[in-house]
Amino acid sequence: MQSGSEPKQPQLWCGPLPAWPADQLPQLLSAQELAWGEALPQSRRLIFWRTRAVVRQQLAAWLGCRSEDLPLLAPPAHYPQLADGWGHVSWSHSGEQLLLGWSPQPVGVDLEPADRPIRAESLWQRLCPDEPPAAALANAVLQRWVALEALTKRRRSSIAAELGRWSWQLEHGRAVHRHDQTNVDVVAQCHCLQQRTWWLGWSGGAMPAVASDEGG
């Protein structure tokens, strides 16, 4: 690592995006991040900027550096990455809520509200082909969905490439590829955060405790 007082263990944080006004964000972002945001539709621009600002602040606190010195590359619609020697980062949005993970090894995270409306039966058939529907189907689907997203991000793959290709053994903290028997660790847990219940997915070794901000 090159960042100074970096943590030795994986880190996980969940909280709301601060309501920073647009004119306060330039001092929190790189010039490239500002330019990327300007190119986005207005409906996406502010969330993009606020996300990168929060990520920079939280990672800087974990990695023992100034947020402006953090070697983060996170363009829109691409997996974020840190420079060699700085570990690995992943995050997930749900509205204004952000889940952020860091690890010395490749990592993927995902976040979904437990009360999200879904088409549980059709999603189950795609997630778990040839398996009988589980009890409490909506929860079972959301659990497997965050596991799939976390696994996909860790592998830097795509949902289209991974959907339906895994046998979920989440009670043992893993997924097994249906064709080549690749074994990948993945955790999907329910947490109550900000007075709401969420499904959190993590793939990248043992899942750390979740740090959470109750305020904004």
Are 14 and 58 a contacting pair, CB within 8 Å? Answer: no
Specify the pLDDT at position 214.
57
Between 193 and 39, whose confidence is greater?
A: 39
The 8-class DSSP code of residue 68 comes to G
pTM of the model: 0.93
Question: 135, 113, 117, 137: which is closest to 127 by C-alpha?
Answer: 137
User: Is the pLDDT assigned to residue 213 strictly greater than 80?
Assistant: no
Instruction: Give the model confidence (pLDDT) of 178-205 as tens digits.
Output: 999 999 999 999 999 888 999 999 999 9
Q: Give pLDDT, residue 22.
A: 83
User: Is the sign of the CA dihedral 155, 210, 97, 34 positive or negative?
Assistant: negative
Domain 11-104 is found in CATH 3.90.470.20? yes
Domain ranges of the chain: 11-104, 110-211
- The continuous run of DSSP H or E covering 102 comes out as strand 97-103
Q: What is the mean pLDDT of residues 130-143?
A: 94
167's tokens: 């046998």
